Amino acid sequence: MACVSLLLLSIVIDFGALGAQKAVPYLSALPPISSALYFAVASESPGSVYEFNMLTKDISVLYTRPHGQLYSFTFHPGIPEKLYYVNANDTKIFRVLWLQDHW
């Protein structure tokens, strides 16, 4: 199965000097937050942001910068159409915006 789940069985918290222990029972699998994983390959030039669909196993290019490498990136937490990225050789943060069919 391509989805990643986390299974938590039980956590025992030791309060040390109080001499008390409290068991916090968990017995459930957490569902995956998203079916997509985004990544970049730092050695590529020009650099790209890729999307890996964990359900279909497809990899697609989400964005390719005009030139230079792309080391790390993030999406705006409130506006996922905004992509921020950096190149370790530049002293700049770049921002691109998705406009319906292109960056």
Q: Cα 98 to the chain's mean position, in Å?
A: 18
Torsion sign, CA atoms 45, 79, 60, 5 = positive
89 domain-assigned: yes
Listed residue (58, 5, 52, 12) closest to 32, CA to CA? 5
10 domain-assigned: no
The pTM score is: 0.62
Q: What are phi and psi of 6, to 5 degrees?
A: -120, 125
Of the given ranges (14-28, 38-52, 62-76), which has the lowest mean pLDDT?
A: 14-28
13 domain-assigned: no
15 domain-assigned: no
pLDDT tens, 52-95?
Answer: 998 899 999 999 999 889 889 988 888 878 999 988 787 888 89
pLDDT given at position 19: 55
What's the CA dihedral at 79, 75, 96, 62 to 10 degrees?
-110
29 domain-assigned: no
Q: Is 92 helix (H, G, I), strand (E, B) or coil?
A: coil
**Domains of the chain: total:** 1
Give the type of residue at 18.
L
57 domain-assigned: yes
pLDDT tens, 89-100?
Answer: 878 888 988 877
DSSP at 51: E
Q: What percent of the chain has pLDDT over 70?
A: 65
18 domain-assigned: no
Q: Where are the alpha helices (DSSP H) in 16-89?
A: none
19 domain-assigned: no
Residue 13 has pLDDT above 80, yes or no: no
Structural domain for 72, as ranges: 36-97
